[in-house]
Amino acid sequence: MSIRLHSHCSKRLGVPLSQMLSECFFQRMFETDCKETKSGKAKLNLSQEGLKAFLEFVYCLRIDTAKEDPKIALELLEFAHEKQISELEEGIKSIVVEKPDDWLSLNEGLQLFLFSLKLESQGYSDLKKKAVKAIKSKRLELKQSSVFQKLLESNPKCVTEFVCSCLEF
């Protein structure tokens, strides 16, 4: 059985989705015998704003919201990596790297650092560097950061990696 995915951006029905979607999570989901195929539903772990931004990408191939909101950019980055949507993942990576170092909040910088640390061998070293620069730009906030304090307590190896990265960059 052949399944053809379609988009309906700009009030045009039946426009084939980009090649990117035909090779990603959704295509595999509908072509295999998984629970999403049986139920006809796919659970997407996204906030409402993240879902809107993802749909904007799917239907219009735009990532404007992610360009403006670092929280949405990081949410889409993690989602795209998880669902293997490489075109979205690469687009978000480019956005984050090109933005000024202080674009990310301290917590967003920490989130990006943790995520990129896990994936450094998969082309995330530029994002790790960006995260370190973002955190350094907010260094005065580190002492008061509950997120950083929790990280110190729960993952000292990660903090050691962060300190080493600070010395490197």
pLDDT tens string 133-150: 999 999 899 888 888 888
Give the residue-averaged pLDDT of 146-163.
Answer: 83
| Residue 158, token pair as written in the block | 């990660």
Q: Is the pLDDT of residue 74 over 70?
A: yes
pLDDT value, residue 68:
96
| 3-12, 63-72, 86-95, 111-120, range with the lowest pLDDT | 3-12
Report percent pLDDT > 70 for the chain. Answer: 75
pLDDT value, residue 63:
93
The pTM score is 0.76
Q: Mean pLDDT for the chain?
A: 81
pLDDT tens string 18-59: 555 545 556 666 666 666 666 667 677 899 999 999 999 988
Q: How far is CA 41 from CA 9, 15, 36, 77, 165, in A?
A: 21, 22, 5, 22, 42
| Residue 86, token pair as written in the block | 């490489």
pLDDT value, residue 3:
39
